[in-house]
Amino acid sequence: MAVFTSALSTPASPGQRLKTLLLAWFLLFLSGPGILSRDGLGLLAFVALIPWALGSSRPGRHAFFIEWLVASLGLGAVGFWLRHVMPAGLLWIGPFPAVYLALAGLMLRRLVHLLPLSLAAPLAWLFAETLRTLIDPPLGFSWMRLGVHLHNIPALAASARVWGIPGLGLVLTGVAGALADQLRNPYTPLRSLAPGAFFLLAALGLGHLVPAPTTVPGPRVMIVQPGLEQRRKQSSGQPLDLFLDSCALTHEGVLAARSRGEAPPDLIAWGETMLFLPIIDAELPAAWERGVRPPAWSPGGWTRERLVAIAALERSWVGGVLFGQTLGDRQLEDSLRARRQPWAVATLAGAPVIPLGTSFISGAEYQVERDGVQRRLNSLFVWNADGTRGPAASKVHLVPGGEQLMGLERLGLIRRLAMDIGGYVPDLFPAEQTEVLTFTGRDGRSWRVGASICFDNAYDDPYSSPLRRGPLDFHLLASNEAWYMDSWEFDQMVAFSRLEAIATARSFVRSTNGGVSLVLDPLGHELARLEVGGRDRQVAGTLRVTVPVPEPGKNGLRTPWVDLEPYWMALWLLAGPLLVPWASRARRKRRNLQQPEG
């Protein structure tokens, strides 16, 4: 049972609540990755949640509004990097998700009549956080979940193999709730503080009880990061020049590896949509003959002939330049001659940019039929060492406002507004699930890669669901974060990647356009980071790493988190609401007892 004091039952004035919650969110913001340090200050997050638990658990006038307002400011600060792309988006990135934090406060004020803060705070926070993660944008938003703050404390982060990122949030809120109870009432019984201590000790123990599987050296991967400014990538009318720039950088990386006596890479990885050429599904030209067309709001100019021509360009660009096959395109040949670089001259003579026996993965826009309509997807493709392309792995979670308009693109006014702001209509089609791509290494071994893209990194399912469906050797994320200049968004994404590596016990390769490109092992340890002149973002270069993978025959092993994720999510979603009726009954009973007789 909760321990009630006058501080608990006494309503907080609006001013008191405002000051307490402003302190909580200020400290939570400072504790995040990229603010005071690159990896953040996880221990400060424990401190930040104490005033949140103290302030949100007390009744008072305008409680819901004040909590929503302060959370809007806090979440807006966490996502302030959005100003580089869409300043108006700040009106959404704070206020919309803040509704869930206000709901957490509302639930907390009920649960404290039944439970100590060491239990009530976790149940309230995790209910709201789980809800906003499961609901698609714009009404939901899975970004900087609370447990992410512990990504760089290995002793605690290792427990993510059992209870994922939400479990780390349980530790933070449980410990902070216990400390808040103790601060509010120094005579709080130990049984009320025990849950917080139990969660902390469980986190310290679970990582040892459930260790990551033993790994062996796997494929050698070379990441190519062109450091391309987003403005140039988006506005350039010369995609061929951008493609050849990446080819030149790839060639430099291959030469650098050779000069250092390194083994050639098994896989060369480019970033999100870095092919600069749409991939045309093989069945799409025939679908045009059946009357399939793109949506009315899509960019014009599509014809069956254009689809066939672009498909031929893929054979020239990828097959001809990268794999040394026939070029077959006059413009491509002229562009190579104009460069007058040794690699370009060699390519004209039939030499491949990619070493023989090496596979290639890159992001590209994918034009394909979906539901009787020509749609475009944000996808990843593998070209094996013989230049043949495999199936697509497409992005599941689309960025609201940047890649999708949640159906609003059907409204002419919204389309015109989108064109005025960004020069295009965001109408990408989402994939149903994260796919696994395969490639063959130079030694003949086959590798299975979970292929995710950019915003997918903020969610768990792109990393856990492929493992529930079958074996997996490592994760590869293709991302374009050049939108956000050198903000803390980069550091937040790295934190997401680290925890997904730990939770699934698989290495994580980040191949980005402008940073941060790196490789993490299954323990979350950073094996290598692409840095040039001490900078890890907005720079061009290559990174070559041997990726650790599970032992032969053990790439089907799953962590408890992977198996139990749906049940954990159901627990956090339902536990708090199911206890609210009992808490409300206890609240009414206490009020009746406090009423004077007569």
What residue segments make up the domains of the chain, in order of their start? 6-210+562-594, 215-280+311-363+379-395+433-558
Question: Nearest-CA neighbor of 495 among 252, 126, 160?
Answer: 160
Q: Tell me how far the alpha carbon of residue 100 is from its chain's centroid.
A: 20
Beta carbons of 522 and 440 less than 8 angstroms apart? no
Residue 239 DSSP code: H
Residues in the chain: 598
- What are the angstrom distances between the C-alpha of 95 and each of 69, 102, 484? 7, 10, 21
Residue segments in the chain with a per-residue pLDDT below the cut of 70: 1-9, 230-237, 300, 419-423, 591-598
Cα separation, 244 vs 247, whole angstroms: 5
pLDDT of residue 5: 46
CA of 266: how far to CAs of 164, 388, 436, in Å? 31, 15, 17
| Residue 139: both structure tokens together | 């009404």
The Cα 126–Cα 574 span in angstroms is 10
Alpha carbon of 157 to those of 76, 146, 152, 353, 523: distances in Å?
26, 12, 7, 41, 9
260 in helix, strand or coil?
A: coil
Q: Is the peptide bond before 577 cis (omega within 30 degrees of 0)?
A: no
Residue 282's Cβ-count burial label (10 Å; 0-12, 13-18, 19+) is exposed
Contact present, 284 and 374 (Cβ < 8 Å): yes
| Residue 140: other Cβ atoms inside 10 A | 17
Under 8 Å between Cβ of 406 and 399 = no
DSSP E strands, 148-271: 215-225, 267-269
d(CA 256, CA 249): 10
CA 398 to chain centre: 11
Show the DSSP H helices in 10-41 as ranges: 14-31
C-beta of residue 449 within 8 angstroms of C-beta of residue 475: yes
Q: Which two tokens stand for residue 315?
A: 């054979």
CB neighbour class for 76 (10 Å; exposed up to 12, middle 13-18, buried from 19): buried
CA-CA distance, 551 to 303, in Å (whole number)? 49
Beta bridge partners of 476: 451, 509
Position 3 scores a pLDDT of: 41
Cα separation of 465 and 433, whole Å?
A: 8
Give the span between the Cα atoms of 529 and 413, in whole angstroms: 44
Q: Which residues pair with 549 in a beta bridge?
A: 216
| Whether domain 215-280+311-363+379-395+433-558 has CATH 3.30.460.80 | no
Which distant-in-sequence residues (6+ apart) come within 8 Å of 347 by Cβ?
247, 320, 321, 324, 327, 336, 353
CA distances from 33 to 29, 38, 491, 532 (A): 9, 6, 5, 21
Alpha-carbon distance of 271 to 8, in angstroms, equals 52
Please name the helix (run of DSSP H) or strand (run of DSSP E) that holds residue 507, with its range, or none. Answer: strand 507-512
User: H or E segment at 208?
Assistant: helix 190-209
> Model-level pTM greater than 0.85?
yes
Q: What is the dihedral of CA 440, 444, 448, 449, to 10 degrees?
A: -50
What would the two tokens of residue 364 be? 């590209």
From start to end of 345-454, where are the E strands? 359-370, 373-383, 393-394, 436-440, 446-453
Q: How far apart are the first and last CA of the chain?
A: 29
Q: Model confidence over 86-142: pLDDT tens digits?
A: 787 888 899 999 999 999 999 999 999 999 999 999 999 999 999 999 998 888 899
What is the reported pLDDT for 598? Answer: 44
Task: State which amino acid sits at residue 260.
Answer: R
**Residue 500 backbone dihedrals phi, psi, to 5 degrees:** -70, -35
The pLDDT value recorded for residue 301 is 83
Q: β-pairing, 474-479 with 446-453? A: parallel
Mean pLDDT for the chain overall: 92
Burial of residue 215, with CB atoms counted within 10 A of its CB: 0-12 exposed, 13-18 middle, 19 or more buried: buried
Q: What is the pLDDT of residue 413?
A: 75
Question: In the numeric block, which tokens belong to residue 550?
Answer: 């599970």
Q: Which residue has the tokens 């990726």?
A: 547
Token digits for 333? 């040949």
Nearest of 501, 282, 477, 316 to residue 393 by alpha carbon: 477
* Cα–Cα distance for residue pair 381/395, rounded to 1 Å: 12
pLDDT at residue 568 in the model: 98
| Residues 232, 480 contacting (CB under 8 angstroms) | no
Residue 64 tokens read as: 């819901």
